[in-house]
Each structure stands twice: as C-alpha cells, then as structure tokens.
Amino acid sequence: MDKEILFAFIRTLIALPLVLLLAYLVIRYGLARRGPVQANGTGRRMRVIEQLPLGSKGVLNLVEVGGKYYLLAQSENGFTLVKEFDTLPDEIDDKGLNSSLPEFCQVLQGKLKQYASRKHKDKTEGDSGCEN
C-alpha cells in the first residue's frame, strides 16, 4: 500500500511540470491568433482597427474595407454586421463613462431627495388627516 502511494506521488511530480509546460505553450502560442490580423505583402485592402472582447465567446470588431468602416459582432455562430460607417467614429476619451459619473450621481441624489421629501409629505398629510 505504501509503495502505491509513493508511485502515485512520483507520477504526479513528473506529470505536473509537463501539464504546466503544455498549458504555457498553448497560452503563449496557441492563443496568439486572437491578436490583430496582419496581411502579408504590400497591397492591403482591409484592416482591423480595433477589437473589444465581449465575454469569453464574443468580440466586437471595427474593420476598414475599401474606405468604409464596419462594426462587426463575432460570436460562436459567426459574424453579424452591427453598423456601417462612412467615416471613422470618434475616439472615446480615457475617462470614458467615469467622466460623467459624478454628474450622474448628483442628479440621482437630487431625484432621491425629491422622492423622499414627497413620500414624507404624503405620510405626514395622511397622519394628520386620520387623527381627530
């Protein structure tokens, strides 16, 4: 029984580095095809402007073909044309959504205060009308 455990431990010590090496090679070289596509030669007719992952199985691609720009959604089932542009869309600033977040919070806080004061007013009016 002790020899079986010892052999299982030795097999684990040998197999673990092999599995780790294989995982490294797959991540390093097997997933490299997810990067930008490069055309061979000098005559390029299309290019990928930008890619945005949408979870583990979806990608949003902005592609230029013949002077027009296409927004494509890629999933397991294939590609879907989302929108066609004549010119390149404007860039999004580095702040993104966070730049308008404080303003949104102030508006939301004001709406919540209005709602709370209205509820408080309704409650106090209802209480005063019930008491004699």
The whole-number pLDDT of residue 80 equals 86
Res. 129: pLDDT tops 50: no
Of 61, 76, 91, which marks where a domain is finished? 91
Q: In this structure, how many other beta carbons lie within 10 angstroms of the beta carbon of residue 51? A: 17
Better pLDDT: 88 or 36: 88
Domain span at residue 116 reads 92-132
Contact 73, 82 (CB under 8 A): yes
Amino acid sitting at position 26: V
Strand partners of residue 74: 59, 79
Q: Are residues 132 and 101 part of one domain?
A: yes
Mean pLDDT of 34-46: 61
For the chain, where are the E strands, in sequence order? Answer: 46-53, 59-65, 68-75, 78-85
Per residue in 78-112, pLDDT tens? 888 888 888 887 777 665 555 555 676 677 777 77
Per residue in 4-24, pLDDT tens? 999 999 999 999 999 999 988
Residue 39: inside a domain: no
Tokens 């052999």 found at: 7
The whole-number pLDDT of residue 27 equals 80
Q: Are residues 49 and 25 part of one domain?
A: no
- 59's CB contacts (< 8 A; 6+ apart) are 51, 52, 53, 73, 74
The whole-number pLDDT of residue 130 equals 45
Domain count, the chain: 3
Q: Are residues 97 and 60 part of one domain?
A: no
